[in-house]
């Protein structure tokens, strides 16, 4: 009996460990890729968009992994099924699956020299414009005719200074980050041109279709309940869903 008594703690520990292991939920891997945007999709996994993706998917049994890739490569990885989701698309921008719900709104601005007049949004076709390759602004802004796509934002200010473009189009956060790195911030000014809903894109396969359905179901719950407000407040960004408090129609 003494030997049995000594064995009881070991047996109990094994039973408890086995029970705990059986109870642990199995999380399905989910790879989400994006260009790195400051405080939005940071390389260390922090940022508004990453927080929102975890809020949507992890309670539903997925383990979110994030990775930074140039924008066009991120889209290609999802289209080839090498990643599950990419962040930061405009609706139907690429050949992919899109949900009903957007997850944010892009505040799009034009950056130009302070010495120039502010652009007329309805006459953008009269200007020579520039934006980052892959952003496809010609599909979402009116009457676009002349534009250049650049590989890196680092060349933008020199393009404007040299007159190789009249205005640079981008999200306000990216323009502000660009200006913060310039010693001549007063030489430039920004003009609002559009508010464009932001979406995530899914791989066009059975897993992608399941994830798209899950995303819309979760957003149907999270938006009306206001559970996403704290994420936008944490990152000091305006809440985009005040006009979208009911279930979206297909």
> To 5 degrees, how large is the angle CA 32–CA 78–CA 137?
95
- CA separation for the pair 231, 104 (Å, rounded): 11
Domain co-membership, 191 together with 206: no
pTM: 0.80
CB atoms within 10 A of CB 43: 10
Domain co-membership, 45 together with 97: yes
Residue-wise pLDDT tens digits, 63-121: 999 999 999 999 999 999 999 999 999 998 899 999 999 999 999 999 999 999 999 99
Token pair 């599950």 is found at 84
The CATH number given to whatever domain includes residue 138 is: 3.40.190.10
Range of lowest pLDDT (1-5, 58-62, 123-127): 1-5
Domain co-membership, 219 together with 169: no
Instruction: Give the helix ranges, DSSP H, for 58-110.
Output: 71-79
Instruction: Please indicate, yes or no, if residue 156 is contained in any of the structural domains.
Output: yes
Instruction: Note whether 89 and 129 are within 8 A (CB).
Output: no
């Amino acid at each position: 009996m003494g030997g049995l008594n000594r064995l009881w703690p070991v047996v109990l520990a094994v039973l408890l460990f086995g029970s705990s292991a059986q109870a642990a939920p199995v999380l399905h891997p989910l790879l989400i890729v994006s260009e790195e945007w400051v405080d939005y999709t940071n390389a260390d996994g922090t940022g508004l968009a990453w927080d929102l993706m975890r809020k949507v998917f992890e309670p539903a049994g997925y383990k979110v992994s994030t990775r930074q890739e140039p924008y066009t490569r991120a889209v290609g990885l999802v289209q080839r099924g090498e990643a599950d989701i990419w962040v930061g698309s405009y609706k139907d921008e690429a050949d992919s699956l899109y949900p009903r719900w957007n997850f944010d709104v892009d505040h799009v601005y034009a950056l130009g020299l302070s010495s120039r007049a502010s652009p007329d949004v309805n006459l953008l076709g009269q200007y020579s414009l520039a934006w980052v390759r892959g952003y496809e602004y010609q599909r979402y802004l009116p009457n676009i005719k002349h534009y250049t796509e650049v590989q890196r934002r680092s060349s933008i200010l020199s393009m404007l200074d040299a007159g190789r473009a009249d205005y640079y189009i981008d999200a306000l956060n990216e323009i502000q980050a660009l200006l913060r790195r310039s010693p001549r911030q007063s030489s430039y000014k920004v003009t609002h041109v559009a508010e464009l809903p932001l979406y995530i894109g899914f791989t066009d396969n059975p897993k992608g279709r399941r994830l798209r359905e899950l995303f819309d179901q979760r957003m149907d719950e999270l938006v009306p309940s206001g559970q996403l407000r704290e994420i936008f407040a944490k990152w000091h960004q305006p809440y985009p869903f005040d006009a979208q408090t009911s279930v979206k129609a297909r």
